[in-house]
A and B are shown apart, each in its own frame.
Chain A
Amino acid sequence: AQSVTQLDSHVSVSEGTPVLLRCNYSSSYSPSLFWYVQHPNKGLQLLLKYTSAATLVKGINGFEAEFKKSETSFHLTKPSAHMSDAAEYFCVVISSGGYQKVTFGTGTKLQVIP
């Protein structure tokens, strides 16, 4: 079985303060993990991905995430929030192998307060 849990449905931070969006997963196979961002009425944009290389992954717009197998976590962080970061963030797990099962987390809405 495969599942993704985004622990917070809403996160609110002040501009210039750190961002932490949490994601835990379970998968029977060696998964690939992704973080996508979605601005209102837009498609999903890839922020970063983990595909069994370095466990600390750097993405676009200053975001990064660390894959921790022992904790089955892939939390997304950014040192300093910007107003433009306000959006919905999805953690996604895709199993490797012949049939690629895709599982989305329920999303975390990030609010950035000026």
Chain B
Amino acid sequence: DAMVIQNPRYQVTQFGKPVTLSCSQTLNHNVMYWYQQKSSQAPKLLFHYYDKDFNNEADTPDNFQSRRPNTSFCFLDIRSPGLGDAAMYLCATSRGRGDLSNEQFFGPGTRLTVL
């Protein structure tokens, strides 16, 4: 089945230690998104890639970076995690073109704990 996969599902890191979260998709979608979701809050969009074009939300901290080496994979790098970065991180994709171009398909999320 075509899907959005996130690895790992649970990640524990130490304060200040860089961490990378991974997302892959078999949908061949053009757009990939990263969201941060804290407890009992709505997902907050951090950035998205439209093909290779990177689009950063204005209020996304510099501590968060992303890479998209090919259509299938997208990574979220947190350079120096703080306690406030503990959250669920959701990856999503959308077709980006044509009918139903903006319907988003979500992965199961990675829950990040910062010690």
Contacts and interface: CB of A to CB of B under 8 A. Distances in A.
A106 B107 contact: no
A94 B90 CA distance: 17
Interface residues on B, range: 20 to 34
Contacts of B44: 104
B18 interface: no
B113 to A, nearest CB: 13
Interface residues of A, number: 22
A94 B100 CA distance: 11
B111 A41 contact: yes
Nearest to A51: B100
24 contacts: A34-B104, A36-B106, A41-B109, A41-B111, A42-B108, A42-B109, A43-B90, A44-B43, A45-B106, A46-B103, A46-B104, A49-B103, A51-B100, A51-B103, A92-B104, A94-B104, A99-B55, A100-B94, A100-B96, A100-B102, A102-B45, A104-B43, A104-B44, A107-B42
Interface of A: 32, 34, 36, 41-46, 49, 51, 90, 92, 94, 96, 99-100, 102, 104-107
